[in-house]
Amino acid sequence: MAITRYLQIGEEANYGEEASTYAETLDPETVDIDSEDDDKLIYEGMSGLDRLAQVGVYSTSGSITLPVDDLASGWFWKWALGGYNVTGDGSTPYTHEFTPKRGSTMTSFSAKVGKDIFAHIFLGNVIESIELEVENEWALMTVNTLGAKDKHGTLEEQTFTEGNVFTAPMVTLDRDGSDVSPDVSSLSLSVETGANVEDSQGVGSRFPTKAFMGSMVVNLDLTLDFENTDQLTQFWGGDTEPSTDTISEFGYTLHIGENYDISFPRMIYTSSNQGVEGRDAIQQELTARALFDPTNQEGPILVSLTNDKAEYSTGA
């Protein structure tokens, strides 16, 4: 067997039950998922001696880091955001749209990790956050997970999913429709889902039985050349100083290649810094928070992906 390290992912029909089909086989940079510490309870009595031990609650957590691609990454957006729609009939490529959908629980997935001598299977995984980093090499996605439990599996022959992968020169950024890419040194996107598995374990079950959805927080961190004060005045809300009654709003769209867009229709700057270090060029570091747009009933984030995959669904 030539390949003994790999990651397979598949959507679960029911929380914590292994996926019937693993839809993609990936070659990530790292997979660091393991059981949480302190899964055993040790009674500390007044004797001062550790005498009694018993099983406690059990869950997993960790992260997956891999290059951004235009095929497998759609699963992670679906599981993180919850809303999904696809258009296309096969005569042309399919366009998949992933949007926030509010509800009580989250969709889970199984992850099978090849670890040289066995396959480590993690069940009931949900996405706690997605981070996307673009600087000067690969565009990287880190998926942070919470899960229910793990088990032993068997290594198998694999064929990797081969989507198009992207590097920094293939990524552009628009602000209100204008390309600002030449000013961008680096960017970092963080999408937090507020996922919670802890509240579903304990009484009657050692393992989590469901994953609750929490509050979504979307931040875009930017490092830009400092050639004018346009972004500072937008942060202030005034031309020469912080406004007492105005917040400036704007929109950003991140284009990844020709077929992958991440849009933030309504944003505000929550921090702005232009540090001066010796004779180095001054750069401005900005954090933009994405907001829901009540007028158009959209946001805070919209992901559009066009490819030849018919759908992202259980068993696909």
Give residue-wise pLDDT tens across range 47-92. Answer: 999 999 999 999 999 999 999 999 999 999 999 999 999 999 888 8
Task: Compute the half-sphere exposure of residue 15: CA atoms within 13 Å on the CB side of its CA.
Answer: 17
**Residue 199 domain flag:** yes
DSSP codes joined into one string, 227-270: S-SHHHHHHHTSSSS--SS----EEEEEEETTTEEEEEEEEEEE
**Rounded-to-integer distance, Cα 66 and Cα 73, Å:** 9
**Rounded-to-integer distance, Cα 314 and Cα 316, Å:** 6
**Residue 153 domain flag:** no
Look up residue 228 and give its two tokens.
């004018």
Look up residue 264 and give its two tokens.
């933030």
**Residue 34 domain flag:** no
Does residue 108 have a pLDDT over 70?
yes
Does residue 165 have a pLDDT over 90?
yes
Look up residue 56 and give its two tokens.
């406690």
Q: What pLDDT, on a 0 to 100 scale, did the predictor assign at position 16?
A: 96
- The more confident residue out of 35 and 37 is 35
**Residue 9 domain flag:** no
Does residue 315 have a pLDDT over 70?
no
Q: Which domain holds residue 90?
A: 60-105+128-143+164-307
**Residue 17 domain flag:** no
**Residue 303 domain flag:** yes
Confidence class for position 284, pLDDT limits 50, 70, 90: very high
pTM, two decimals, is: 0.95
**Residue 121 domain flag:** no
Does residue 130 have a pLDDT over 80?
yes
Which amino acid does the sequence have at 45? Answer: G
Sequence length of the chain is: 316
Helices (H), the chain: 73-81, 230-236
Q: Quote the number of domains for the chain.
A: 1
Q: What pLDDT, on a 0 to 100 scale, did the predictor assign at position 38?
A: 84
Q: CA of 134: how far to CAs of 4, 16, 183, 184, in Å?
A: 29, 33, 14, 10
**Residue 239 domain flag:** yes
Q: What pLDDT, on a 0 to 100 scale, did the predictor assign at position 316?
A: 61
